[in-house]
């Protein structure tokens, strides 16, 4: 079956620090990969995605590259802000084809706190 | 609409009572997914629909949980005889289909169910 492992937090950084949140996956097929963000008291927002090997997803200064050889999709940001404080979830889903169920498989989330 | 809508935002039920949650997917999205988020951020897939048809129900505790997506009505998730362990945030997500499978899933704000 599919599974996602991401670094456990919490992660605490100062404003303008560099962020990396590691994510690795196990999948039976060739999945699509996602990072979702959950701000306090809110639902999940899609942050970025990648659908094939070597694709780089990017949004709001965050980036992640689909690495098939290492089965990884690490999230990075060069300079974090206080407003980036949230829980970040790495996720995957089947891309399609016979037997795909498309459900998202999530990692356990990483709480990021950015201090001024 | 342009967003996934979920009602109610909060729901409190005594143990053994019924709970019913609603979800209106984004207009034009043919897939609806229900997820349960329990303590420590863990997401569990419950069920998905393709239009009004059940697509994947492998995550549903069938003895007490049921769900429907009827034409021209919000989708619903119903829990008969709630238990304390049903306390969680229930998220609905919708997605549209494409030639290569599904696009990304967009999440609603969630319904927080508290069973006392």
- Tell me the per-residue pLDDT of A10-20, one tens digit each, with 9 for 90 and over: 999 999 999 99
Question: Considering only CB atoms, which residues of chain A are within 8 Å of chain B?
Answer: 32, 34, 36, 38, 42-46, 49, 51, 87, 89, 93-97, 100-106, 108-109
Q: Which of B40, B45, B101 sits opposite A104 (nearest CB)?
A: B45
Distance of CA B114 to the CA centre of its chain: 16
A42 contacts B102? CB cut-off 8 A? no
Q: How far apart are the first and last CA of chain A?
A: 41
Q: Residues A17, A82: contact at Cβ < 8 Å?
A: no
* Among B26, B43, B109, the residue to mutate for chain A (most A Cβ within 10 A): B43
Q: Residues A39, A114: contact at Cβ < 8 Å?
A: no
**pLDDT value for B99:** 61
| Nearest one of A67, A81, A80, A68 to A20, comparing CA atoms | A80
**pLDDT value for B102:** 66
| Nearest one of B109, B104, B116, B100 to B35, comparing CA atoms | B109
The model's pLDDT over B62-96, given as tens digits with 9 standing for 90+, comes to 899 999 999 889 999 999 999 999 999 999 999 98
**pLDDT value for A83:** 96
Q: How far apart are the first and last CA of chain B?
A: 34
| Nearest one of A90, A75, A87 to A27, comparing CA atoms | A90
**pLDDT value for B110:** 95
Q: Residues A34, A93: contact at Cβ < 8 Å?
A: yes
Structure tokens at A68: 């098939």
Q: Which of B31, B100, B108 sits opposite A43 (nearest CB)?
A: B108
* Nearest chain A residue to B90, by CA: A43
Q: How far is A116 from chain B (nearest CA, A)?
A: 25
Q: How far is A17 from chain B (nearest CA, A)?
A: 25
Q: Which residue shows structure tokens 């420590």?
A: B40
List of chain A residues with pLDDT < 70: 95-100
Q: Residues B62, B115: contact at Cβ < 8 Å?
A: no
**pLDDT value for B96:** 87
| Nearest one of B35, B47, B30, B1 to B102, comparing CA atoms | B30
Interface check for B108 against chain A (CB to CB < 8 A): the answer is yes
B106 contacts A46? CB cut-off 8 A? yes
**Ramachandran category for residue B76: left, alpha or beta (phi over 0 → left; psi -120 to 50 → alpha):** beta
B110 contacts A101? CB cut-off 8 A? no
Distance of CA B93 to the CA centre of its chain: 7
């Amino acid at each position: 079956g599919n599974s996602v492992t991401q670094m456990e937090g919490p992660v605490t950084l100062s404003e303008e620090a560099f962020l990396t949140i590691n994510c690795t996956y196990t999948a039976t097929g060739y999945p699509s990969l996602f990072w979702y963000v959950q701000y306090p008291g809110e639902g999940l927002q899609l942050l970025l995605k990648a659908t094939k090997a070597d694709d780089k997803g990017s949004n709001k200064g965050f980036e992640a590259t689909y690495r098939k050889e290492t089965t990884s999709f690490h999230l990075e940001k060069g300079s974090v802000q206080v407003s980036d404080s949230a829980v970040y979830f790495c996720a995957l889903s089947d891309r399609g084809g016979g037997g795909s169920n498309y459900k998202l498989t999530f990692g356990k989330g990483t709480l990021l706190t950015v201090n001024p | 609409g342009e967003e996934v809508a979920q009602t109610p935002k909060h729901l409190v039920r005594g143990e053994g009572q019924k709970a019913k949650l609603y979800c209106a997917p984004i207009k034009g999205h043919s897939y609806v997914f229900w997820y349960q988020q329990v303590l420590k951020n863990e997401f569990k897939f419950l069920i998905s629909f393709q239009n009004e048809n059940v697509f994947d129900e492998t995550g549903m505790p069938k003895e007490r949980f049921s769900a429907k997506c009827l034409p021209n009505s919000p989708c619903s998730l119903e829990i008969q005889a709630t238990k304390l362990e049903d306390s969680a945030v229930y998220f609905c997500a919708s997605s549209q289909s494409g030639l290569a499978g599904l696009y990304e899933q967009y999440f609603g704000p969630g319904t927080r169910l508290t069973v006392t």
